[in-house]
């Protein structure tokens, strides 16, 4: 699912998230990244997310870390309300009641927290 271009964006985004996770572990002076908690919006399959993570973590200290996926509702942006972001199952803006635009898949996951030791 998704164009190859969007897949590349997702891999790039995962690369940034892994770098961010490693930076957080370093900040806490904990050398081993054990668990990476991601929050995922929309319908991106777990298998894809695990695949992206493996692709970008191989050869880094994030390799071997356990990926924990937290599912959130689809994420929407309401342009009527100057780009208000919210989570919803039907896309209706809680602020103005307009149907908002779904956030594209290539920005549909984010780093929640890490566990390091
Ligand atoms: Zn709105």
Which domains does the chain show, CATH number per domain?
Answer: 4-72+105-116 (3.30.2320.50)
pTM of the predicted model, to two decimals? 0.74
- Of 86, 101, 100, 105, which Cα lies nearest the Cα of 44? 105
pLDDT tens-digit profile, the chain (117 residues): 445 677 888 899 999 999 999 999 999 999 899 999 999 887 788 999 999 999 999 999 999 999 999 988 778 899 999 888 888 888 999 999 999 988 765 567 889 999 999
Centre of ligand 1 from the C-alpha of residue 67, in Å? 34
Rounded to 10 deg, the angle between the 4-27 and 46-57 helix axes is 60
Protein residues near ligand 1, an ion, with CB under 5 A: 78, 80-81, 93, 95-96, 98
pLDDT at res. 46:
92
Centre of ligand 1 from the C-alpha of residue 101, in Å? 10
- Of 31, 29, 46, 23, which Cα lies nearest the Cα of 108? 46
């Amino acid at each position: 699912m998704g164009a190859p271009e969007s897949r590349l964006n997702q891999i790039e985004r995962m690369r940034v998230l892994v770098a961010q996770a490693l930076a957080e572990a370093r900040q806490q002076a904990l050398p081993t990244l054990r668990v990476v908690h991601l929050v995922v919006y929309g319908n991106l399959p777990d298998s894809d997310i695990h695949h992206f993570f493996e692709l970008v973590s191989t050869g880094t200290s994030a390799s071997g870390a356990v990926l924990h996926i937290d599912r959130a509702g689809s994420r929407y942006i309401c342009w009527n309300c100057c780009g208000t972001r919210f989570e919803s199952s039907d896309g209706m803006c809680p602020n103005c009641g307009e149907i908002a635009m779904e956030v594209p898949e290539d920005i549909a996951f984010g780093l929640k927290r890490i566990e390091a030791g």
